[in-house]
Amino acid sequence: MTAVPGTVAVVYTVPVPGAGRDATAPASTARPSTVRPTPVLIFINQSSQRGAMATETEPEGTRSFSPGERSGWRRHWQRLQFRVDPYSEYLLLLPPFLVLFAVLGIPVVFNTYVSFFRWNGSGWPTEFVGASNYTFMLGDATVVTSILNTAAWTVAMVTIPPLVGLGMALLIDDVWGESLFKTLFFLPYAVSFVAIGITWRLMYHPDFGVVNTVFAAIGLESWTQAWLGIPTVNTVAMMVAQGWLFSAFAMVVYLAGLRSVPQHLVEAARIDGLSRVQRFRYVTLPMLRPFTTLVVATILFRVLKIFDIVWVMTGGGPFFSSETLAVTMYRLAFSQFQFGKGAAIANILTVLIVVVTVVYIRYNIQREVEY
């Protein structure tokens, strides 16, 4: 055996617990496609261990962990690793899943439990009220408004921003300076919703907002109004702000999509005499379908629980008229301390998001075209 410089050859003669279990285990329990050989001979390429090299002159049978005399954490660490190696998958999964279950798993269970109680947040929920936290929603005018607003948000956001984004992507695709335009258009998406909300509150400010100023300047004085103070108008105004972001997102995804369309297909269509419009309609558009799925699924997933923009721009007002379900949940739980009702709305929101998004993705993956 010749030792490569910097390589420590370790003859590992200590019986390792669980080592060789694949060889001894019955064939039925052996997992397919994974070979887990017993560590017997170990080459550790480690410059820090250079200088004190184990060689074959050492008597057979000694525990020749490299520099044997260098006792310390490294040696123990090495030995520990091989001792626990058979259980490594559990040990490696433990930390992340522990955090997930403690911080997210327990809340999910507890939230479901709370939703069946009337609870003001102090002590432990004891006053069981059955499903009344769920049924009250249909009789409560503000919650009904909130449901309708959420529906309006969803419909508006899954239709208009993808179209605007596609238009923008087509506009800047392949022009000189594309990446600069892309960076600039997409910049708002890297900014927090709070900052976006404040930016647009400044835009809509009745006195010095850009929107009113521009309307006044071009002779449309009658159009100027307190955009965020009027029910319905304020929801549309906020949709513009949110759509601004989602369009930028859609644009980036569609740009990647346009990049993925094989040019030989477009060329072939061109040679076959298809016009620009036809090439787009029959070649490019079908190839973009997976990207549309991504755009719409992401937007769906985010718009159903929309909170930040509404909270910052109108706070759900005036008179709860612009609340979405997430805002209603926050108000019930943390302003009015009806934690049971808030928890129930959170549960409804979860079911809504999971069902809508999963159904949408499933349906679209089935329809995807292959070339």
Partner 1 sequence: MAAEDPSLGDRVRELASLDDRDVDVDAVSVVRYTLVTAVLLVWMLPIAAMFYIALKPTEQLITGSFWALPNSLALLDNLATAWQDASFRAYAVNSLLYATVGGGLAVFLASLAGFTIARLDPPGKNLLLYLVLLFTFFPFQMYLIPLVKMWHATGLFSSKPGMVVVYVAIAIPFAAFVLRNYFVTLPRSLYESARIDGLSDFQIYWRIYLPLAKPALAVALIFQWVWIWNEFLFGLVLTSGAEARPIATGLASLSGRAPRWSVLAAGTLLTIVPAAIVYVSMQKYFVRGLLAGTKKG
Least distance between partner 1 and beta carbon 368 (Å): 9
DSSP 116-155: TEE--SSS---EE-TTHHHHHHHH-HHHHHHHHHHHHHHH
Candidate list 55, 71, 88, 159; residue touching partner 1; CB under 8 A: 88
Q: Scan residues 311-370 and list those touching partner 1 (CB under 8 A).
A: 311-312, 326, 329-330, 333-334, 339, 342-343, 345-347, 349-350, 353-354, 357, 365
Nearer to partner 1 among residue 97 and residue 319 (C-beta): 97
Least distance between partner 1 and beta carbon 332 (Å): 10
Least distance between partner 1 and beta carbon 163 (Å): 14
DSSP 4-45: PTTEEEEE--SPPTTTTHHHHS-TTTSPTT-------EEEEE
Here's the x/- map for partner 1, 135-164, by CB under 8 A: it reads as: ------------------------------
Candidate list 290, 318, 360, 364; residue touching partner 1; CB under 8 A: 290
Q: Is 4 in the site for partner 1 (CB under 8 A)?
A: no
Q: Is 185 in the site for partner 1 (CB under 8 A)?
A: yes
Nearest CA to 316 among 307, 204, 304? 307
Region of 71 please: left (phi>0), alpha (psi -120 to 50) or beta: beta
Cα 155 from Cα 344, distance rounded (Å)? 24
Q: Are strands 117-118 and 7-11 parallel, antiparallel or unpaired?
A: unpaired
Candidate list 4, 202, 285, 359; residue touching partner 1; CB under 8 A: 202
Candidate list 114, 158, 296, 303; residue touching partner 1; CB under 8 A: 114
**In sequence order, which residues have a C-beta less than 8 Å from that of residue 109 and are 6 or more positions away?**
none
Stretch that binds partner 1, among 49-57, 143-151, 187-195, 219-227 (CB under 8 A): 187-195
Furthest-apart CA pair in the chain: how many Å?
A: 99
Q: Scan residues 235-274 and list those touching partner 1 (CB under 8 A).
A: 244, 249, 252-253, 256, 270-271
Q: Is 283 in the site for partner 1 (CB under 8 A)?
A: no
Nearer to partner 1 among residue 142 and residue 350 (C-beta): 350
Yes or no: say if 37 and 16 are a contact pair by the CB < 8 Å rule: no
Least distance between partner 1 and beta carbon 318 (Å): 12
Nearer to partner 1 among residue 59 and residue 208 (C-beta): 208
Q: Is 30 in the site for partner 1 (CB under 8 A)?
A: no
| DSSP conformation class of 223 | G
Q: Is 278 in the site for partner 1 (CB under 8 A)?
A: no
Candidate list 2, 33, 263, 366; residue touching partner 1; CB under 8 A: 33
Q: Is 15 in the site for partner 1 (CB under 8 A)?
A: no
Candidate list 23, 30, 195, 359; residue touching partner 1; CB under 8 A: 195
Yes or no: say if 86 and 17 are a contact pair by the CB < 8 Å rule: yes
Q: Where are the alpha helices (DSSP H) in the chain?
A: 21-24, 73-84, 88-99, 106-114, 132-139, 141-172, 178-186, 193-204, 210-217, 233-260, 263-271, 276-279, 285-287, 289-303, 308-313, 325-330, 339-367
Least distance between partner 1 and beta carbon 198 (Å): 5
Nearer to partner 1 among residue 235 and residue 341 (C-beta): 341
Q: Which residue has the tokens 């929920």?
A: 125
Q: Is 102 in the site for partner 1 (CB under 8 A)?
A: yes
Yes or no: say if 118 and 129 are a contact pair by the CB < 8 Å rule: yes
Neighbours of 192 (CB within 10 A): 10
